[in-house]
Amino acid sequence: MCAAPQVPDVLAKILDRKKDEVEALKSQVSADSAHPIAKALETEVARKKAFYNSLNLPKGSLTVIAEIKRKSPSRGVIGTIKDPAVLSRVYNEGGAGAISVLTDFEGFGGTMEDLIKVVKTQQRFKGNYPGPCPVLRKDFIIDEIQIAEAAVGGASAVLLIVAALGKDRTKQLLDATHAMGLDALVEVHDEDELQIALDVGADIVGVNNRDLRTFNVSLDTSFRLAPLIPEDVIKIAESGITDCLDAWKLRDAGFNAILVGETLVTAYEGSAMDSTSYSIGYNQAKGIIKAFKAKGSVEFGNSSMAAFFGKGEGAKETLGELSI
């Protein structure tokens, strides 16, 4: 048995209202014994690993998890995102490996309906390269019923925040997530939380660069924790990623993926809000994803001796993906 987690203030407030939401969902589901969420809760299914596999690319690759985010407690309004389905198409065409949909309404302006629309839109990419993007339900998960709701909505993964859950609950919800066929992104912000994530068997760990107590964002959090995460665990750097050099440095530090919200939404909406230049917004968001993924190692640039002799990680990498 572990002590209750020390929950940062902002998170504590969000979790209080999540308890009410969970109770409302439970009474809705319990009123109907044939409810799909009730069935998902009872039925064990094999883990599909769509999200995991999309991030588990050869060493040296960087996947972008592109987020649909209208507003946030730290930044206020970010974009209107009239149709999340359209933005999810832009993300897919830009080469995102997965799409994160915030489904918390009060803090982030997102809904489960957004997620369902995005899942349905992504299904249309079946058969086309690179296929549908797996969808992450980004919310404050405190109960199994929210995971079942995500599974029924077609999500491939859910977010579990160690700071919100503590060790015992993270373990229970991680097991429940896998039993319902989904992946879990287990989010940490410091060494102690990372240890908990690893102890409970997380195989996808996200390092959030945003301190939920102060809202300060520092990529140093990712750089500090990266070497402590075992090689066989998928590593994701989350929040505050705005330029290519940072993305490439994170890749060189061993991250498999970066999770990016505000940078992509503002690139898309900045121009999309001006109705005469819709396509510019599309291309800017796509271009940023392509640039983040572009293979330009800062350790072994093209002019280095290693590059010349074709040795070392990244030696043969180029900026070849930059055309949009």
Give 227's Cβ-side CA count (13 Å radius).
Answer: 3
Site string for ligand LARABZUK, 67-106 (x = CB under 6 A): x-x--xxxx-------------------------------
Take residue 160 and report the two structure tokens written for it.
């579990």
Take residue 252 and report the two structure tokens written for it.
């060189």
Nearest to 141 by CA among 133, 128, 153, 150: 150
- Name the residue nearer to ligand LARABZUK (CB basis): 157 or 307: 157
Q: Which of helix, strand or coil describes residue 3? A: coil
Q: In degrees, to the nearest 5, what angle opens at C-alpha 124 toward C-alphas 127 and 40?
A: 105
Stretch in the footprint of ligand LARABZUK (CB under 6 A) among 64-72, 113-121, 141-149, 228-236: 64-72
- The alpha carbon of 270 is separated from its chain's Cα centroid by a whole number of angstroms, namely 22
138: left (phi over 0), alpha (psi -120 to 50) or beta: beta
Of 109-148, binders to ligand LARABZUK (CB under 6 A) are none
**Count of chain residues binding ligand LARABZUK (CB under 6 A):** 19
- Name the residue nearer to ligand LARABZUK (CB basis): 183 or 317: 183
Report the residue from 22, 119, 259, 267 that binds ligand LARABZUK according to the rule CB under 6 A.
259
Report the residue from 41, 158, 260, 315 that binds ligand LARABZUK according to the rule CB under 6 A.
260
Report the residue from 212, 219, 267, 294 that binds ligand LARABZUK according to the rule CB under 6 A.
212
Are 131 and 125 in contact by the 8 Å Cβ rule? The answer is yes
Please name the residues in contact with 113: beta carbons below 8 A apart, sequence gap of 6 or more: none
Active site residues: 67, 69, 138, 187, 208, 238-239
Of 2-41, binders to ligand LARABZUK (CB under 6 A) are 10
Binding site for ligand LARABZUK (CB under 6 A): 10, 67, 69, 72-75, 208, 210, 212, 238-241, 259-263
